[in-house]
Amino acid sequence: MVGQIINSEYFSYAIIIINVVLLALYLINVILLKKMNKKYKIFMKKIGNGQNLEDVLNNYLQKVEDVEKNNKEIIKYCEKLDEEISICIKKVGMVRYNAFQDTGSDLSFALALLNDHNDGVILNGIYSREMSNIYAKKIKNSKCNNKLSEEETKALEIAINS
C-alpha cells in the first residue's frame, strides 16, 4: 500500500508543492534576516554614538586590560617602596639637657634616629663654653654595643615608642 502511494502521480505533485513552499519560506527567511541584520547594524551605530558598538566594546576591554596591567605595576612599585621605607629613619627621640654646671641652659642633647626595625644611631651633642662635641653610637635592634648615658637611654626609649 505504501508502495502504491509513493508510485502515484499525486504523491509526486505533493512533494513538488512541499518543496516549492519550503523554498518560498527559505527565501522569505533570508530576506527577513537581511533586513534584521541591517536594522541591527543601524541600532548598534546609534548606541555607539555613530561608532560601531562592537568596536567601542573592544576598545573599552583593551583599556580595562591596560588599567589592570598598570595596577599590577603600581602594586609592585608600592611593595618595593614599602621595603625601602622600612629602612628609612621614621622614629625620632630627643632629650635636651645641661651637661655642665657652668652653662646656663639645656644646650646639650641626645638624639635617637631609628627605622622600623629599631636600627639607627644616637647622636649626643655635648656643649660647653669652650667647645662643643658630637658623638655617634650605632643602634641595632634597639641595642647599643656602647654604654649609653641616662639622656641617650631616654632618647632611645622615646624613639622606640614613637
Mean pLDDT of 29-43: 91
Helices (H), the chain: 2-7, 9-47, 53-85, 150-161
What's the grid cell of residue 64?
Answer: 580595562
3-state class of 134 per DSSP? strand
Residue-level pLDDT at 63: 96
Phi-psi bin for 50: left (phi > 0), alpha (psi -120 to 50), beta? left
64: amino acid identity, one letter: V
Under 8 Å between Cβ of 54 and 44: yes
Q: pLDDT band at residue 93, thresholds of 50, 70 and 90? A: very high
- pLDDT tens digit sequence for 139-154: 999 999 999 999 999 9
